[in-house]
Amino acid sequence: MKLPKLIITDIDGVWTDAGMYYDQRGNELKKFNTADSFGVILCREFDIPVAIITGERTEIVARRAGKLNIKYLYQGSSDKIKDATDLLSKLDVDWQDVAHIGDDLGDYHLLKKVGISGAPSNAADFIKEVASIHTVKAGGDGAFREFVETIFKNAGLYEEALERLLK
């Protein structure tokens, strides 16, 4: 397996446990696992852009993307294929050179279209059926990191990546 030229990720159910938390004032909260940051760092070390395409639209996700310097953020996506097609055109990347991890209905068609597809352990069963990589970790528990690490391991580049990062 070779490394993808782009990794696309969903957020709710992948980077989070898919829970939607509200405080007494109506503020929405999400819990992110910092372990997933390492997946972004690995990608950055090998010049692989990470894109977030999510159906939700929240300042929380924008802040997380900003903190990790994720340049490609599509929120409120009602058509992930369309948004991904636009991004692939901008980056001049073919579908077979894309990896995507998602967990539910909004990810199904995109998972079927990309070269490397992934699903966290808590993904819907019909999503797991179309995914080529199944993480042991659940969404919100480091599933994105595990997905990226698995891609690097399958490409035989994980040890090199660690050596580069540990210098």
CATH number of residue 45's parent domain: 3.40.50.1000
1 inside domain? no
51 inside domain? yes
Closest by CA position to 41, among listed 90, 87, 7: 7
For the chain, what is the domain count? 1
Which tens digits make up the pLDDT trace of 87-106? Answer: 999 999 999 999 999 999 99
Which tens digits make up the pLDDT trace of 62-84? Answer: 999 999 999 999 999 999 999 99
Query: Which stretches of 10-140 are assigned E, i.e. beta strand?
Result: 21-22, 28-29, 50-53, 72-74, 98-101, 116-119, 133-134
pTM over 0.95: yes
Closest by CA position to 105, among listed 139, 141, 130, 134: 130
Full domain range(s) for residue 100: 6-166
> What gap in Å lies between CA 105 and CA 123, rounded to an integer?
10
